[in-house]
Each structure stands twice: as structure tokens, then as C-alpha cells.
């Protein structure tokens, strides 16, 4: 296939800067109570476990279901031989830390790059974590989530036997993923039409183009 440059008509030339605020507005306006109800009908158990802070503690020991100051979050992606891809995880971790306010958040790569899950687990303990939450930055519950990441987390925990840990569900199905994908699609079409620059994901790759 050979790349071609074809002007697109379906979308108006909306400034790229408007795309992110639109998604932010969507996120801020969504009723998470509605999302929890939708989760029950679609089998989304991860969403059902979210507790509404305004309702207070509903069950004894419910504080165990919240992320506290002594909890650490390890965000794990696959890992890549492409350094630019690995660095994107660091950027996401910074965004996650700033947005959530969690004190201990560390990146980890399942394979091919450092820091490893073992590295991140140890760094969390060094920062005073009393519980480690390993959160896969994966979309679907495949073999890596079912087998590889739990195995690596168990191996990492051997050096810190007094520290409990959990491997959470991957991202899976979530209504907000629709907005993320839709923003990606629209922005890429705008870029192909020459209305905006390449995004940080594609910058320098030349991959965002039409083929025929």
C-alpha cells in the first residue's frame, strides 16, 4: 500500500485545543451512580465496587476498599523495545498521581524494559507502603493479566512478605473509553486533513496517514 494525502470533508476544522476540553467536560458531567447501575447490567464488577463517598462507610472495614496514604499503586504496562512507548507510561503515571492525589504511584513494565514489577514493588515499600495495588494498564483480561502479571507480582512480594498486595482488573469495558476512542479518531482525521499537528502519540512516526 502507498500513502496518499486526501483532504477529508466529514469534520469541520475544529481547533485541536477544543478536543481535550470537550472530553474533560464529558468526564466531569457523567453521573457515576448511573455508571454503577449500568455496570450491574453489563457485568462490570469493577465499577460496582466503587463506593459513593457521600454515603459514608456502609460496611465494617470499608476503609480497606479505599486507597489510603499507606497504599501504593503500581501501574503496569506491557513494556516495549521502543523507548518512546515506555516513556509514555511515566507520563500517564504523573497524570494519574496528580489527578487522584495518591501519594505512592510507580510505573512498571511487565517485560522488555525497566523498571520491572519487582523494581516498582520494592520502591513502593521503600516509600512506606503497607499495601501494594498492582493495576494493569491493559485493555482486556488476557493471558498477561491472568497469568504473567500475577506471577511476577507474587515473585516481587517474596522479598516483602509482610506487605499484602492485589492485582486489579484491567481497564476492560467502560463508557468513558468511548470518549477516548472517539477523540483519537477525530483528532487523527483532523491531522490527516492538515488541520492539526501530529499528537504526542504519533509524533515523528509518520503513521497517521491514509493508505490506499
List Cβ<8 Å contacts ≥24 apart for 194-200.
194/7, 195/13, 195/14, 195/16, 196/15, 196/16, 197/16, 200/88
Same domain, 91 and 141: yes
Global pTM value: 0.68
- Number of structural domains (the chain) is 2
Strand duo 210-211 + 3-4: pairing:
antiparallel
Q: Which DSSP symbol is given to 18?
A: G
Please, are residues 43 and 109 in contact by the beta-carbon 8 Å criterion?
no
* Distance between CA atoms of residues 91 and 200, nearest Å: 11
Q: Which domain holds residue 194?
A: 174-211
What DSSP string describes 35-80? HHHHHHHHT-HHHHT---GGG---STTGGGGS--TTEEEEEEE---
pLDDT at residue 207, as a whole number? 80
Same domain, 137 and 205: no
Are 199 and 152 in a shared domain? no
More confident residue, 70 or 210: 70
Domain limit, last residue, from 150, 167, 184? 167
The per-residue pLDDT for range 35-78, each reduced to its tens digit, is 333 333 333 333 333 334 333 334 445 556 899 999 999 999 99
What mean pLDDT is predicted for residues 191-209?
Answer: 85
Each residue of 117-166: pLDDT tens digit?
Answer: 999 999 999 999 999 999 999 999 999 999 999 999 999 999 999 999 99
Could you tell me if residue 23 is inside a domain? no
Amino acid at each position: 500500500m502507498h500513502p496518499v494525502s486526501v483532504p477529508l470533508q466529514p469534520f469541520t476544522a475544529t481547533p485541536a485545543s477544543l478536543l481535550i476540553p470537550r472530553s474533560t467536560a464529558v468526564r466531569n458531567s457523567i453521573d457515576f451512580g448511573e455508571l454503577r447501575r449500568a455496570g450491574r447490567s453489563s457485568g462490570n464488577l469493577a465499577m460496582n465496587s466503587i463506593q459513593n463517598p457521600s454515603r459514608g462507610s456502609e460496611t465494617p472495614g470499608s476503609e480497606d476498599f479505599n486507597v489510603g496514604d499507606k497504599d501504593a499503586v503500581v501501574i503496569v504496562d506491557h513494556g516495549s523495545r521502543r523507548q518512546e512507548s515506555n516513556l509514555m507510561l511515566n507520563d500517564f503515571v504523573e497524570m494519574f498521581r496528580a489527578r487522584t492525589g495518591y501519594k505512592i504511584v510507580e510505573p512498571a513494565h511487565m517485560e522488555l524494559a525497566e523498571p520491572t514489577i519487582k523494581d516498582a514493588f520494592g520502591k513502593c515499600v521503600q516509600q512506606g507502603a503497607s499495601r501494594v495495588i498492582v493495576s494493569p494498564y491493559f485493555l482486556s483480561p488476557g493471558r498477561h493479566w491472568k497469568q504473567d502479571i500475577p506471577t511476577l507480582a507474587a515473585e516481587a512480594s517474596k522479598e516483602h512478605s509482610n506487605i499484602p498486595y492485589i492485582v486489579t482488573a484491567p481497564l476492560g469495558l467502560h463508557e468513558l473509553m468511548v470518549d477516548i476512542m472517539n477523540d483519537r479518531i477525530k483528532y487523527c482525521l483532523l491531522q490527516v486533513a492538515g488541520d492539526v499537528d501530529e499528537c504526542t502519540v504519533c509524533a515523528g512516526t509518520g503513521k497517521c496517514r491514509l493508505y490506499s
